[in-house]
Amino acid sequence: MKRAILFELLCIACLIVIGSVSNIREKSQNTYIETSMETSIETKDREDFIKWVDCDVTYEALCYAYQQDIDTYGQAIHLNWIDLIAYAAAKNGGAFPKSAIKDMTELSEKMIQKKITLKKATRKMKYFDYYEEVYHAILDGYVGEYTRKTGGVTEKKYGLKVFLPIAKGFPYNDYDDFGVSRSYGYKRPHLGHDMMGQIGTPIIAVEDGYIEAIGWNQYGGWRIGIRSFDKKRYYYYAHMRQNYPYQSDLKEGSKVKAGEVIGYMGHTGYSAKENVNNIDTVHLHFGIQLIFDESQKDGNGEIWINPYQLCRFLYKNQAEVEKVPDSKEWRATGK
């Protein structure tokens, strides 16, 4: 009997210790997450800048927020799609469950009816400023006014100003492969999105910017790096076509416009020797790096986001291209 009692007391003591350790571990994890968020928020009082980003916005959330922006353009209350996305992120701890669209709907209706302002709706949201800065860095300039020539007539429009990195009419396959393991050279996660297609498929500049890098890289093969004019986004296009990877007039420092052809799909790379096809599958490696401070451009502080959901969204706007006669090149229609 005494042994049984002593055994029960010992079990109870163990449970108390395990529970205490679990609570400490949980508190430590929460403290780490909260500290990461707080040190990532840029303030006027400090020189801190955002050092950590998870872009978890879904295709459905992007489409909904975009449509709200389009539908209210020119109205008394014009809803900014980035603000709606930041609100949903702040309300759901960065995640985008199905209820995120309901959250954006309720906010949109109240704002349109002038029952609430964005400032009042978010004043108690501790991390709204953080998510607003993050999603503005990702999406600034994607939606707005632009001009387009149709049948010789120039029209002023409002909508999506950026493009899918694959030209219209060229098939491709893809899936969410961000973060999967890579082993060439050294073990590392895949910090981009692969879009499988045919050799020579025209590759498109997603937005306006300037070429910051062009040439051979043993991991990316023939590659191009384009920086947005606001310097927040760096687009990385890799594994370009062997022998004729780029448009002939491109060089470091060249300015490019959204929708222009910049190069051609291939499978170069995984070689210290230039112009080698060592990649098994023909594809475009497409990456997006966020830069809140120039120290993040190269090195351990790089922030690469998952472009998969964004590419699904950008499928709405594909650049039309035409073959340049007697050449290996394509160009944007009408250029």
pLDDT digits (tens, 9 = 90+) for 293-323: 999 999 889 999 999 999 999 999 999 999 9
DSSP-based three-state secondary structure for 249: coil
Q: Tell me the C-alpha distance between 71 and 161, whole Å.
A: 16
CB of 251 closer than 8 Å to CB of 303: no
Whether residue 33 is predicted with pLDDT greater than 50 in this model: the reply is no
Q: Tell me the C-alpha distance between 177 and 287, whole Å.
A: 12
What pLDDT band is residue 285 in, cutting at 50, 70 and 90?
Answer: very high
CA dihedral (42, 300, 213, 243) positive or negative: negative
Looking at per-residue pLDDT, the higher value among 258 and 334 belongs to 258
Q: Tell me the C-alpha distance between 87 and 334, whole Å.
A: 40
Read off the pLDDT of residues 166-187 as tens digits, 9 standing for 90 and up: 999 999 999 999 989 887 877 8
Residue type, position 149, single letter: K
Task: Provide the Cα torsion 237, 70, 62, 190; round to 10°.
Answer: 10
Read off the pLDDT of residues 111-154 as tens digits, 9 standing for 90 and up: 999 999 999 999 999 999 999 999 999 999 999 999 887 777 88
DSSP-based three-state secondary structure for 238: strand
Which of 99, 95, 87, 98 is CA-nearest to residue 127? 87
Looking at per-residue pLDDT, the higher value among 25 and 238 belongs to 238
Tokens 């082993």 — which residue? 183
Phi, psi of 72 (to 5 degrees): -100, 5
Q: Tell me the C-alpha distance between 175 and 163, whole Å.
A: 19
What pLDDT band is residue 17 in, cutting at 50, 70 and 90?
Answer: very low
Whether residue 233 is predicted with pLDDT greater than 90 in this model: the reply is yes
pLDDT of the residue at 108:
98
What pLDDT band is residue 200 in, cutting at 50, 70 and 90?
Answer: very high
Q: Tell me the C-alpha distance between 12 and 264, whole Å.
A: 67
Which of 125, 134, 114, 113 is CA-nearest to residue 53? 134
CB of 166 closer than 8 Å to CB of 318: yes
Angle between helices 128-139 and 81-91 (to 10 degrees): 140
pLDDT of the residue at 47:
67
Domains identified in the chain and CATH numbers? 59-145 (no CATH), 173-332 (2.70.70.10)
Tokens 């459905």 — which residue? 60
Give the E-state strand segments of 15-150 in sequence order. Answer: 143-150
Residue type, position 146, single letter: Y
Q: Tell me the C-alpha distance between 20 and 246, whole Å.
A: 60
Phi, psi of 30 (to 5 degrees): -65, -40
Total residue count of the chain as it appears in this document: 335
* Mean pLDDT to the nearest integer, 224-238: 98
Mean of pLDDT over the chain: 88
pTM, two decimals, is 0.85
pLDDT of the residue at 30:
36
